Structure 1
Amino acid sequence: MFEARLALLEKFRPDIINNLVLLWWRDDLCQPTDFYLAVAHAPSLTKDALKAGLLAGRLKYRGGGLTGRLELTAEGRYLVRRMLRRMGAEVAA
Protein backbone atom coordinates (compact mmCIF):
# COMPACT_ATOMS: atom_id res chain seq x y z
CA MET A 1 0.00 0.00 0.00
CA PHE A 2 2.84 2.38 0.91
CA GLU A 3 4.64 1.85 -2.41
CA ALA A 4 1.41 2.15 -4.40
CA ARG A 5 0.55 5.50 -2.79
CA LEU A 6 4.03 6.87 -3.44
CA ALA A 7 3.98 5.58 -7.02
CA LEU A 8 0.72 7.46 -7.61
CA LEU A 9 2.24 10.67 -6.25
CA GLU A 10 5.33 10.22 -8.44
CA LYS A 11 3.21 9.57 -11.52
CA PHE A 12 0.43 12.12 -11.14
CA ARG A 13 1.95 14.83 -8.91
CA PRO A 14 5.68 15.03 -9.68
CA ASP A 15 5.28 18.81 -9.41
CA ILE A 16 4.80 18.46 -5.64
CA ILE A 17 7.96 16.37 -5.29
CA ASN A 18 9.95 18.76 -7.49
CA ASN A 19 8.82 21.65 -5.28
CA LEU A 20 10.01 19.81 -2.17
CA VAL A 21 13.35 19.13 -3.86
CA LEU A 22 13.72 22.86 -4.51
CA LEU A 23 12.77 23.74 -0.93
CA TRP A 24 15.34 21.30 0.55
CA TRP A 25 18.01 21.52 -2.16
CA ARG A 26 21.41 20.84 -0.55
CA ASP A 27 19.86 21.05 2.94
CA ASP A 28 19.45 18.41 5.61
CA LEU A 29 16.18 16.63 4.80
CA CYS A 30 15.52 16.09 8.51
CA GLN A 31 15.61 19.80 9.36
CA PRO A 32 12.45 21.93 9.30
CA THR A 33 12.24 25.07 7.18
CA ASP A 34 10.34 28.32 7.56
CA PHE A 35 7.67 28.87 4.93
CA TYR A 36 5.84 31.98 3.82
CA LEU A 37 3.13 32.30 1.18
CA ALA A 38 2.21 35.91 0.40
CA VAL A 39 -1.40 35.24 -0.66
CA ALA A 40 -3.20 32.74 1.56
CA HIS A 41 -5.83 31.81 -1.04
CA ALA A 42 -3.36 31.28 -3.89
CA PRO A 43 -2.76 27.73 -5.16
CA SER A 44 0.41 26.29 -3.69
CA LEU A 45 2.37 23.09 -4.21
CA THR A 46 3.47 23.35 -0.58
CA LYS A 47 -0.15 23.31 0.59
CA ASP A 48 -0.75 20.31 -1.68
CA ALA A 49 2.26 18.55 -0.10
CA LEU A 50 0.75 19.15 3.36
CA LYS A 51 -2.56 17.65 2.20
CA ALA A 52 -0.76 14.65 0.67
CA GLY A 53 1.08 13.97 3.95
CA LEU A 54 4.55 14.70 2.56
CA LEU A 55 5.01 17.68 4.89
CA ALA A 56 4.21 18.10 8.55
CA GLY A 57 3.67 21.34 10.38
CA ARG A 58 1.18 24.13 10.58
CA LEU A 59 0.58 27.24 8.53
CA LYS A 60 -0.97 30.23 10.29
CA TYR A 61 -2.84 33.06 8.65
CA ARG A 62 -0.96 36.36 9.09
CA GLY A 63 -1.64 39.59 7.26
CA GLY A 64 -3.18 38.02 4.18
CA GLY A 65 -0.52 35.32 3.90
CA LEU A 66 0.41 32.02 5.45
CA THR A 67 3.50 31.43 7.52
CA GLY A 68 4.82 28.46 9.47
CA ARG A 69 7.57 25.96 10.09
CA LEU A 70 7.33 22.80 7.98
CA GLU A 71 9.30 19.57 7.87
CA LEU A 72 9.35 16.58 5.56
CA THR A 73 7.59 13.45 6.74
CA ALA A 74 9.27 10.07 6.27
CA GLU A 75 7.37 9.67 2.98
CA GLY A 76 8.41 13.15 1.88
CA ARG A 77 12.09 12.48 2.63
CA TYR A 78 11.90 9.18 0.75
CA LEU A 79 10.42 10.79 -2.37
CA VAL A 80 12.86 13.72 -2.27
CA ARG A 81 15.82 11.33 -1.97
CA ARG A 82 14.53 9.27 -4.91
CA MET A 83 14.12 12.38 -7.05
CA LEU A 84 17.59 13.63 -6.13
CA ARG A 85 19.11 10.25 -7.00
CA ARG A 86 17.35 10.30 -10.35
CA MET A 87 18.77 13.77 -10.97
CA GLY A 88 22.22 12.56 -9.96
CA ALA A 89 22.46 15.12 -7.17
CA GLU A 90 24.15 14.58 -3.84
CA VAL A 91 21.69 13.76 -1.07
CA ALA A 92 22.13 15.42 2.32
CA ALA A 93 21.15 13.35 5.38
Structure 2
Amino acid sequence: MTNHELRRKILHMLYTCFTEHPYHRITPKEFTESLGVTQKVLDFNIIYLEEKGYVELQKPLEGSIFVGARITTKGIDLVEDTNQLNVLFPNDNK
Protein backbone atom coordinates (compact mmCIF):
# COMPACT_ATOMS: atom_id res chain seq x y z
CA MET A 1 0.00 0.00 0.00
CA THR A 2 1.37 3.42 -0.94
CA ASN A 3 1.42 6.39 1.41
CA HIS A 4 -1.37 8.01 -0.65
CA GLU A 5 -3.57 4.95 -0.26
CA LEU A 6 -2.83 4.67 3.45
CA ARG A 7 -3.65 8.33 4.04
CA ARG A 8 -6.96 7.91 2.19
CA LYS A 9 -7.80 4.90 4.35
CA ILE A 10 -6.87 6.72 7.55
CA LEU A 11 -9.08 9.65 6.58
CA HIS A 12 -11.98 7.37 5.65
CA MET A 13 -11.66 5.46 8.95
CA LEU A 14 -11.69 8.69 10.92
CA TYR A 15 -14.59 10.08 8.87
CA THR A 16 -16.69 6.96 9.43
CA CYS A 17 -15.88 7.01 13.13
CA PHE A 18 -16.81 10.69 13.36
CA THR A 19 -20.20 10.15 11.70
CA GLU A 20 -21.02 7.42 14.23
CA HIS A 21 -19.35 8.78 17.40
CA PRO A 22 -18.07 12.37 16.94
CA TYR A 23 -15.96 12.45 20.12
CA HIS A 24 -14.47 8.96 19.84
CA ARG A 25 -10.79 8.77 18.95
CA ILE A 26 -9.19 5.88 17.10
CA THR A 27 -6.17 4.38 18.86
CA PRO A 28 -2.87 3.44 17.21
CA LYS A 29 -3.64 -0.24 17.86
CA GLU A 30 -6.99 0.05 16.07
CA PHE A 31 -5.25 1.64 13.07
CA THR A 32 -2.41 -0.90 12.84
CA GLU A 33 -4.73 -3.88 13.20
CA SER A 34 -7.31 -2.59 10.74
CA LEU A 35 -4.86 -1.29 8.13
CA GLY A 36 -2.19 -3.98 8.46
CA VAL A 37 0.70 -1.53 8.78
CA THR A 38 3.51 -1.12 11.28
CA GLN A 39 3.46 1.56 13.96
CA LYS A 40 6.37 3.32 12.22
CA VAL A 41 4.49 3.56 8.91
CA LEU A 42 1.33 4.70 10.70
CA ASP A 43 3.22 7.37 12.67
CA PHE A 44 4.82 8.81 9.51
CA ASN A 45 1.49 9.11 7.72
CA ILE A 46 -0.63 10.25 10.66
CA ILE A 47 1.86 13.02 11.51
CA TYR A 48 1.76 14.12 7.86
CA LEU A 49 -2.05 14.32 8.03
CA GLU A 50 -1.87 16.19 11.33
CA GLU A 51 0.57 18.76 9.98
CA LYS A 52 -1.70 19.32 6.96
CA GLY A 53 -4.58 20.00 9.37
CA TYR A 54 -6.71 16.97 8.41
CA VAL A 55 -6.47 15.12 11.73
CA GLU A 56 -6.09 16.00 15.38
CA LEU A 57 -3.89 13.81 17.56
CA GLN A 58 -4.27 13.28 21.28
CA LYS A 59 -0.70 13.13 22.56
CA PRO A 60 0.62 11.55 25.76
CA LEU A 61 2.99 13.31 28.13
CA GLU A 62 5.69 10.84 27.09
CA GLY A 63 6.11 7.64 25.16
CA SER A 64 4.23 7.00 21.95
CA ILE A 65 3.57 9.59 19.25
CA PHE A 66 -0.17 9.63 19.91
CA VAL A 67 -2.84 7.79 21.88
CA GLY A 68 -5.86 8.73 19.79
CA ALA A 69 -6.84 10.49 16.56
CA ARG A 70 -9.93 12.19 15.20
CA ILE A 71 -10.72 13.96 11.94
CA THR A 72 -10.89 17.76 11.78
CA THR A 73 -13.45 19.82 9.90
CA LYS A 74 -10.82 20.36 7.19
CA GLY A 75 -10.43 16.57 6.94
CA ILE A 76 -14.20 16.08 6.73
CA ASP A 77 -14.42 18.62 3.90
CA LEU A 78 -11.63 16.80 2.06
CA VAL A 79 -13.25 13.36 2.36
CA GLU A 80 -16.57 14.79 1.17
CA ASP A 81 -14.90 16.46 -1.85
CA THR A 82 -13.99 13.36 -3.84
CA ASN A 83 -12.29 15.35 -6.63
CA GLN A 84 -9.95 17.12 -4.22
CA LEU A 85 -9.29 13.89 -2.31
CA ASN A 86 -8.31 12.18 -5.58
CA VAL A 87 -5.95 15.04 -6.44
CA LEU A 88 -4.21 15.06 -3.05
CA PHE A 89 -4.26 11.32 -2.34
CA PRO A 90 -4.74 9.40 -5.60
CA ASN A 91 -5.72 5.76 -5.41
CA ASP A 92 -2.53 4.34 -6.93
CA ASN A 93 -3.96 0.84 -7.49
CA LYS A 94 -6.51 1.79 -10.15
What TM-score, normalized to structure 2?
Answer: 0.48
What TM-score, normalized to structure 1?
Answer: 0.49
More strand by share: 1
More helix by share: 2
Q: Looking at CA atoms only, which structure, 1 or 2, has the larger radius of gyration?
A: 1
